[in-house]
Amino acid sequence: MDLMPNVKGTRDLLPSESVIWARVEETARRVFSLYGYGEIRTPVLEHTELFVRTVGESTDIVGKEMYTFEDRKGRSLTLRPESTAAVARAFVDHRLGEQPLPVKLFYMGPHFRYERPQKGRYREFHQIGAELLGDPGPASDAEVIRMLVGFLEELGFEDLTVLLHTVGDQETREAYRAALVEFFAPLAEQLSSESRKRLERNPLRILDTKDSAERELLIDAPKLEDSLSAGSREHFAGVRSALDRLGVKYRVDPGLVRGLDYYTLTVFEIVSEGLGAQNAIVGGGRYDRLLADLGGPDLPAIGFAIGLDRLVESLPAAFRDRCTQAPAVRLIAIDPVPKLAAMELGEELRARGVAAVVDFGNDRMKAALKRAHRSGARYVLLLGEDELAKNAVTCRDLNAGEQSLVPRSEIVGLLHNRLRNQIKGQIKGQIEGQIEGQPAGQPGRQRGEGEA
């Protein structure tokens, strides 16, 4: 039992894991910026009212999952359970509607919901999201989805299917809501208590029930498709034809009803295998009323949020294997005096972009070499009195188990070249600027799968 455990539903990410997260985040930044998105960083803390008004009082998020508390002046604050509302708030606050439209923003960071943790669900979780604000067209919907799919492909995901649906415009929703209530009212006894509540508060949510008896009832229930207004129908058709043209695979899923109140028209989701029950890694949709509801301009918008925790859990092994952080070179000084020489050499290597660590242990070389091996280093440079006297260093290749005496003047260039060559094969599909100092790999892990 820990004396000081972490807070339930939160976790620490150690370097072997956080390096993967960093690569995913870098990829998102690169891909999204190629589409003209800029990063927005909003506070983790917002007024509770923001989420109550936008996400919806009838949702579980607002009803029972928010981390809400009063500050010292009695104001009700909430740790953000999602970010679309916050981005919309910032958009209104900063009058971004007066800029050339659409405004394209992405964000990433921690979010909080008070739920029982399980696989793929944490109380502190992380989202990467993007919002395109100020354009009504189906083309924007398609571009947003295309960008999202492109991002996931960069990470090595294959065969992910986009689930697509429409919840219609306001007119549609009102008509359909009425139709649903009319249909279910006489059947209320056959509904679960949960669904009876839904019938009052948010009838659309009955559609995605998992209760088999209720699914039977749904067969004869009015279809959302039949209530779609002409405009909604046209919009949905536009999204679909644009996605077809862009080569995005999707499946229309009539059961897909996003839970948040602010969604209109297009909604979509991406699920992944191997995540257990919490398999949605992305959710998104259009929210044409949200900005106006917040007292801002009457502008439409669309966006999505990626569950980073779940994304990383389902990340293809090929991507994970490329994410290593061990410095490739380790310098071991055998006596006190060469230690300073080792530090100097380390600086020279780093100046050329070669990641190098000086071993400061004062024990025997045996122990130092062991540390080097365990660190995942590819090369060890040995500096002792012998080497100093000859103005050279011993360069040991830990993979090959071979070593040679290299003149001091040549060692930096030699390592720089060797590591550069090794990296070129691995770098494909990875971030520019990561070329330097690419490590040799983790202990116990196959080397060089990324090559060729």
Binding residues (CB under 7 A) for RNA: these are: 1, 5, 8, 59-61, 82, 113, 115-122, 125, 127, 194, 198, 205, 208-211, 258-260, 269, 276-283, 305-307, 309-310, 334, 363-367, 369-370, 372-374, 382, 384-387, 394, 396, 398-399, 401, 403
For the CB of residue 95, give the shortest distance to RNA in the complex, in Å.
Answer: 27
For the CB of residue 9, give the shortest distance to RNA in the complex, in Å.
Answer: 7
Say whether 135 sits in a helix, a strand or coil.
Answer: coil
For the CB of residue 225, give the shortest distance to RNA in the complex, in Å.
Answer: 20
Helix extents (H) in 35-83: 48-54, 60-64
Q: Which residue lies nearer to RNA by CB, 393 or 430? A: 393
What is the C-alpha separation between 267 and 93, in angstroms, rounded? 26
Residue 285, both tokens: 């949709």
Q: Which residue lies nearer to RNA by CB, 153 or 385? A: 385
For the CB of residue 22, give the shortest distance to RNA in the complex, in Å.
Answer: 19
Q: Which residue lies nearer to RNA by CB, 8 or 249? A: 8
What is the C-alpha separation between 68 and 77, in angstroms, rounded? 6
For the CB of residue 72, give the shortest distance to RNA in the complex, in Å.
Answer: 25
Q: Which residue lies nearer to RNA by CB, 69 or 298? A: 69
- Residue 318 has phi, psi (to 5 degrees) of -60, -40
3-state SS of 277-323 is: CCCEEEEEEECCCHHHHCCCCCCCEEEEEEEHHHHHHCCCHHHHHHC
What is the C-alpha separation between 386 and 392, in angstroms, rounded? 9
Please report how the helices 230-246 and 170-184 are oriented relative to each other, as an axis angle in degrees rounded to 10. 110
For the CB of residue 98, give the shortest distance to RNA in the complex, in Å.
Answer: 29
For the CB of residue 396, give the shortest distance to RNA in the complex, in Å.
Answer: 5
The residue with tokens 């260039």 is: 413
Q: Which residue lies nearer to RNA by CB, 167 or 323? A: 167
**Residue 159: DSSP 8-state:** S
What is the C-alpha separation between 262 and 53, in angstroms, rounded? 9
Q: Which residue lies nearer to RNA by CB, 23 or 310? A: 310
For the CB of residue 19, give the shortest distance to RNA in the complex, in Å.
Answer: 21
Q: Which residue lies nearer to RNA by CB, 378 or 430? A: 378
H/E segment holding residue 426: helix 408-426
| DSSP code string of 414-425 | HHHHHHHHHHHH
Q: Which residue lies nearer to RNA by CB, 276 or 353? A: 276
For the CB of residue 342, give the shortest distance to RNA in the complex, in Å.
Answer: 12
For the CB of residue 186, give the shortest distance to RNA in the complex, in Å.
Answer: 21
What is the C-alpha separation between 316 and 57, in angstroms, rounded? 38
Q: Which residue lies nearer to RNA by CB, 288 or 430? A: 288
Give the contacts of 175 (CB within 8 A, at least 6 positions apart). Answer: 227, 229
Give the contacts of 421 (CB within 8 A, at least 6 positions apart). Answer: none
For the CB of residue 151, give the shortest distance to RNA in the complex, in Å.
Answer: 14
For the CB of residue 366, give the shortest distance to RNA in the complex, in Å.
Answer: 4
Q: Which residue lies nearer to RNA by CB, 33 or 404? A: 404
Write 238-245 long-range contacts (CB < 8 A, 24+).
238/137, 238/138, 238/139, 238/141, 239/138, 239/141, 239/142, 239/164, 239/166, 239/266, 240/164, 242/138, 242/139, 242/141, 242/142, 242/143, 243/142, 243/145, 243/146, 243/162, 243/164, 245/142
- Residue 224 has phi, psi (to 5 degrees) of -55, -40
User: Shortest CA distance to 29 belongs to which of 133, 139, 134, 105?
Assistant: 105
Q: Which residue lies nearer to RNA by CB, 159 or 402? A: 402
Q: Which residue lies nearer to RNA by CB, 394 or 430? A: 394
For residue 254, say if its preceding peptide bond is cis, omega within 30 degrees of 0. no
